[in-house]
Amino acid sequence: MKSILVIGIGRFGYHLIDQLNKAGDEILAVDLSEERLEPVMNMVTSSLIGDSTNEAFVKSLGVESFDVCFVAIGDRFQASLETTSLLKECGAKYVVARASRSVHEKFLLRNGADSVIFPERQLAEWSAIRYCSGRVVDYLEYPGDYSIFEVKVPKEWIGKSLVDLGIRNKLHLNILSIRRKGEPILEFPADLVFEEGDTVTVFGADKDLKKHLSINY
């Protein structure tokens, strides 16, 4: 269980809190508007109405005690920037700031953000890859030009094993799991033979994933 501060309860903030609540985290929600806080009242540990650009208010939150502080303000960049800066000045351990435009990222990072996220852009990228890349079931970006993909097994893999294909030595890929007839296989021998209908979760460098899985992204 983690202690999370979420500032800015718009659509992104709402869905973020929903997922954090399902994970069992302790959440403090903050917004200028009581109306925006109402929909999340049953999902958070506590909530406060206040101005996150006010230094005295931010200090009163005890931000140093939270594992992660999310600045989910999406429609007021200046307020997002000031809030991010104040959180760090007041001792926040880790600040994740939302951005709607690429140009905002460098300013947020310079003003204390440890990480910047682009919800709309990242969802658009996921959707394009998920629905327009043929075999892709799901995927996750990984730092440093690496990714994790769940894909339908390529036709040329069917009837062959990990050893036959040289998954690690030749293709430079790592199979994390196999799903067969809807059931996950997390532990498998190197001589397990792929069958039609299998899906595999694969980790590797983007260049190798594109080359050997014929994924365009």
Query: pLDDT averaged over the chain?
Result: 87
- 3-class DSSP state of 114: coil
Q: What is the pLDDT of residue 123?
A: 61
Q: Do 11 and 78 reside in the same domain of the chain?
A: yes
Phi, psi at residue 68, to the nearest 5°? Answer: -140, 140
Q: Do 94 and 143 reside in the same domain of the chain?
A: no
pLDDT interval class at 84 (50, 70, 90) = very high
CATH of the domain at 9: 3.40.50.720
Q: Domain end: 91, 117, 143, which one?
A: 117
Q: Mapped to the 3 state alphabet, what secondary structure does 201-215 carry?
A: EEEEEHHHHHHHHCC
Task: Please count the structural domains in the chain.
Answer: 2
Higher-scoring residue by pLDDT: 154, 69: 69
The overall pTM is greater than 0.75? no
Q: Do 105 and 142 reside in the same domain of the chain?
A: no
Which residues does 149 contact at the CB level (< 8 Å), separation at least 6? 136, 138, 139, 140, 201, 202, 209, 213, 215
Q: Domain end: 117, 135, 170, which one?
A: 117
Tokens, residue 69: 């502080």
What's the domain range around 12?
3-117
Q: Do 128 and 179 reside in the same domain of the chain?
A: yes
pLDDT tens readout for residues 136-171:
667 666 667 888 888 888 889 999 998 999 988 899
Q: What is the pLDDT of residue 28?
A: 97
Poorest-pLDDT segment among 31-45, 80-94, 111-125: 111-125
Q: Domain end: 60, 95, 117, which one?
A: 117
CATH of the domain at 175: 3.30.70.1450
